[in-house]
Amino acid sequence: MALSVTGGSGEGSVTRVPAMEGIIEGMFSEDVDRRIGSAREIRRLTKNSTKHRRQLSGAIEPLVSMLRCGEPEATEAAILALLNLAVKDERNKIKIVEAGALEPLIGFLQSTDMTLQEYATAVLLTLTASSTNKPTISAVGAIPILVKILKDGNHQARIDAVRALYNLSTLSDNVNTILSSQPIPALVDLLKSCKKSSKPAEYCSALLELLLNFDEARNALTAEEGGVLAVVEVLEEGSLQSKAHAVGALLTMCESDRSKYREIILKEGVIPGLLELTVHGNPKSQSKAQTLLQLLRNSPYPRPGLQPDALENIVCNIVSKIDNDDRAEKAKKMLAEMVQVSMEQSLRHMQRRAIVCTPAELPLANRTSGVPSK
């Protein structure tokens, strides 16, 4: 049956219902090539169109069946069509899971074909956006496999895996499963490798903030070379949302055991980023930054470029001004000037921190992750 389609594949295109029926009929054909052609047409039409996703939802069951056919070309066509059908469509997400897609998808997640693994991770990420699907996806053992992809997958699969894990972490029962899969080293590695202002850094920071409520995750982060530093770098260079997650993560650590984590956090040069956040963050981030400054300010640890008591004086002065003046303009101006001074005085420390060398050669105060940002 010829397709009766005019215009593009977007919302504004004019498509007659018989064309949609013809595509769905093609999915039930015994001709493999016709099924592949129909799957590709579904992928094209549903890329940007909510209307087409709804009209073509009847193709979900045969597309799921194609996932089991064993033909690489058919499998790829089906998985990409299902991905587009699921995007921004809650009902289709649920239908795909109910049609039995999780079993073949879990198999693809463990495939040595990295492209197939990437596509399957993308589909699973989309399906985890549905609260209805989350318990089912968790029950089939997806979490440990996603953590493995976070460690060993290609770059895009790792990004989608961390997003899927974050989606699943909103169910409290899943957090222990995530922790038991030991995700912290892989999260730190991804955070080191991506630009700190990027979306992947935001996803990593969000998941870290959640996991650091648990002692197991805090121990894993501090044991990981450059782990706390990676979070501090997000605080300095990340998006506003990433900075909010980073300060929340560091505050959680310090509040859980001030004596254990205060010096570890200070040694990574956190003060300039915190000072800046008290000026430019949203009210919640500003409050967290001020609280963390208060927790850090009594440390005897001397920062490079500052007199031993200078950090104490700066922080006390800033916090008292902000509290008394209720973030008045004068206090903000004073704080902005102090941020600049603190950053300038920290320049040599930050440069030394960026030098790549072995832990044995580098003092703890100046250690570096050894992984440049992209």
For 192-246, the pLDDT digits (tens) are: 999 999 999 999 999 999 999 999 999 999 999 999 999 999 999 999 999 999 9
Cross-strand partners of 346 = none
- How many residues does the structure list for the chain? 374
Mean pLDDT of the region 328-353:
49
How far, in Å, CA of 236 to CA of 106, rounded?
38
Q: Give yes or no for residue 314 having a pLDDT over 90.
A: no
Instruction: Supply the pLDDT for residue 338.
Output: 52
Q: Give yes or no for residue 142 having a pLDDT over 90.
A: yes
> Rounded to the nearest 10 degrees, how much is the dihedral formed by the CA atoms of 290, 296, 297, 301?
-150
How far, in Å, CA of 64 to CA of 59, rounded?
9
Return the ∠ at Cα 240 (arms to 236 and 245), rounded to 5°.
80
Look-up of token digits 């205060």: 262
Q: Is the pTM above the cut of 0.85?
A: no
How far, in Å, CA of 1 to CA of 249, rounded?
57
Maximum separation of any 2 CA atoms in the chain, in Å: 81
> Rounded to the nearest 10 degrees, how much is the dihedral formed by the CA atoms of 162, 168, 174, 176?
20
Q: Which of 93, 25, 7 is nearest to 53 (CA)?
A: 93
In this structure, which topology does domain 188-374 adopt according to CATH? Leucine-rich Repeat Variant (1.25.10)
**Torsion sign over Cα 343, 297, 264, 252:** negative
201-205: Cβ within 8 A, 24+ apart: 201/234, 201/238, 201/239, 201/242, 202/238, 202/239, 202/241, 202/242, 202/245, 203/159, 203/162, 203/163, 203/166, 204/162, 205/231, 205/234, 205/238, 205/242, 205/245, 205/246, 205/249
For 332, counting Cβ atoms within 10 Å of its Cβ (0-12 exposed, 13-18 middle, 19+ buried), the class is: middle
Cα–Cα distances (Å) from 158 to 12, 238, 354, in that order, read: 34, 19, 25
188-374 matches 1-100 in CATH topology:
yes
Instruction: Supply the pLDDT for residue 8.
Output: 41
Q: What is the pLDDT of residues 45-92, one digit of tens each?
A: 999 999 999 999 999 999 999 999 989 999 999 999 999 999 999 999
CATH of 1-100, one of 1.25.10.10, 3.40.190.290, 3.90.550.10, 3.40.50.150: 1.25.10.10
Q: Give yes or no for residue 333 having a pLDDT over 60.
A: no
Domain boundaries, the chain: 1-100, 188-374
Return the ∠ at Cα 341 (arms to 340 and 345), rounded to 5°.
115
CB 48 within 8 A of CB 10: yes
- Find how far residue 313's CA is from the centre of its chain: 37
Q: What is the mean pLDDT of the chain?
A: 83
Cα–Cα distances (Å) from 10 to 20, 49, 53, 198, 286, in that order, read: 15, 5, 11, 28, 42
How far, in Å, CA of 59 to CA of 128, rounded?
21
